[in-house]
Chain A
């Protein structure tokens, strides 16, 4: 649904405000979804809190061991959901499995659809036409390529299970590897430059710097072998001076603060310079720019009046 509203301002210029309820709904939906998801995460931590309570009580010899109901003490005390559920009853264990299977399946279906979108209209489209193809123009061939990429992702994504992958936090750390996106994506949205100017270094410098620091941190301090010890403790990088505070995540925090600062700094460095190695003007986009500048103005109006 769209509402066009023509307004004559006091200086006499007429502007058109376009209000699209659908557009607002999309972003409110996202924020609403995020708030609910965050609240659920806090609620979920209660399972671990209870596990820690019970585990410590049994360990101290105050609570009887029968309270564990056959679950392992270290698992319960460490808050592993499956073990905590076992202490309650088999029914709750099965129900928790249902909850976990639900969240796993729903994440995987979205993972596959995102793979298809990235591989077919975006990457395959780039190879075909030189630019990612908008979803509304996706062809039947794109659908085929998309389906193929889903199957490929499922097979390749299962292969790591052949090795002894035990360290789930490897993926939590992956956020650190992409910390360089802070400048190129967030700041681009708030300080855009003229359309048609291409500044590759404003992306590559912050992104690759962040990735290098992140990978170094991951290899040295986070990758563990099956017995739980660090896999590559001899790699010659030392992030100890970055550590903030006494906690067990102090170094992770320090690395992320450094990464965010570097990303912002490098982005400004390369984005504000008009001439820089690798910069060029994309002529093909100029016509489009002229055509869309009116709409962009309109969009900005809409944003400020919201």
Chain B
């Protein structure tokens, strides 16, 4: 909804931006589409159920379930198959580049919707299965300092937002385009190779974390099935809908993830608070029995968590990489930073 305000201000242009902000809020609340997107989603779901794609997925799902039940396989397969069913049966089928590569995030009228979609999408896509694993392992090594050290890599988001914002101001549509026009084609190819290398590493390192729940024995048949299934399921629905299905499944996944995490953490908290023997042992031999102050090495005389050896070396490394280099070879992050911007050059 474009609206124009003509104003004459005597002083600097910075004078009263509050005015403009007020009108931004005003216009967006007048926008009928942003309020009713939940209804639209329901509508879309109803249409999806009537598609042949829905029934085809249902049949495959039932066959897979029968195989798992008949062969008495690991119950964790049910979780993967449910994922397959929900995400594939409702996935949009992209026919245009706009849906496939841009996820239809361009329409000016859906500001609030794209805010929610983008925020949850970047959040969930950037919590890799292996970062959960690493955060937990570092927590065991350094106490909560390890968690903060690993979180330092998430400075990437702020750095990425600031840098990509400025690059878009200069009129660039993507990071490879910016690199090519300033540094030439050879540089762009090198950059693309680095990015491809990263993407390739993401595939096996994430599916490996999933398969570690099935079996600890590598190269067994369970190992292969769990690895292949956890790679094939996301592949199928993004093949259909491209970025659009990735973005919209991210919202669902963010909700599942947060709910699951909250329950796991609460039960960890309950186990901890009910175990008096454990607390007694920790009070006697470690700095504290609380999650925030527990020191795996003993007391701060053994290893102070605020020193380099206590985990600060990793925290500084993370902050350095997160601020300067890490975000820019991860297209999962930079691609999203280039979305939701209708006209960089307002023409």
Contact = CB atoms under 8 A, between A and B. Distances in A.
B267 A108 contact: no
Interface in A131-164: 131-132, 134-140, 142-143, 146-147, 150-151, 153-154, 156-161, 164
Interface stretch (B41-49, B50-58, B60-68, B109-117): B109-117
A154 B236 CA distance: 11
A282 B16 CA distance: 41
Contacts of A151: 235, 239
A256 interface: yes
Contact of B272 (A6, A53, A115, A193): A53
B98 A136 contact: yes
B4 A113 contact: no
Contact of A49 (B100, B143, B203, B323): B143
Given A36-B123, A101-B230, A186-B163, 6 more contacts: A5-B7, A45-B136, A57-B281, A82-B213, A186-B159, A305-B13
Nearest to A99: B260
B139 A52 contact: yes
Contact of B167 (A99, A189, A244): A189
Nearest to A60: B281
Q: Chain B at the A interface: mostly helix, strand, loop or mixed?
A: helix
A79 B268 CA distance: 13
Contacts of A169: 134
B13 A3 contact: no
Contacts of B212: 82
Given A54-B278, A305-B14, A135 B97 contact: yes
Interface string B306-331: 01111111101100110111101101
Nearest to B120: A33
Q: Chain A at the B interface: mostly helix, strand, loop or mixed?
A: helix
Given A41-B151, A154-B231, A8 B204 contact: no
A214 B281 CA distance: 43
A105 interface: yes
A213 interface: no
Given A202-B183, A244-B313, A7 B8 contact: yes
Which of A45, A140, A153 gathers the greatest number of chain B CB atoms within 10 Å?
A: A45
Contacts of A140: 95-97
A290 interface: no
Contact of A200 (B20, B95, B186, B239): B186
B118 A26 contact: yes
B36 interface: no
A105 B230 contact: yes
Contact of B256 (A10, A98, A165, A210): A98
Given A41-B127, A115-B199, A256 B144 contact: no
25 contacts: A21-B28, A25-B118, A25-B340, A29-B122, A29-B340, A30-B157, A44-B147, A47-B139, A53-B278, A57-B278, A99-B132, A107-B125, A107-B126, A108-B230, A109-B237, A110-B246, A121-B101, A150-B238, A158-B227, A189-B166, A203-B183, A208-B190, A253-B320, A299-B345, A301-B13
A73 interface: no
Given A116-B242, A134-B177, A3 B3 contact: yes
Interface string B219-246: 0000010011011111101110011011
Nearest to A190: B166
Nearest to B190: A207
Given A29-B119, A33-B118, A161-B208, A122 B176 contact: yes
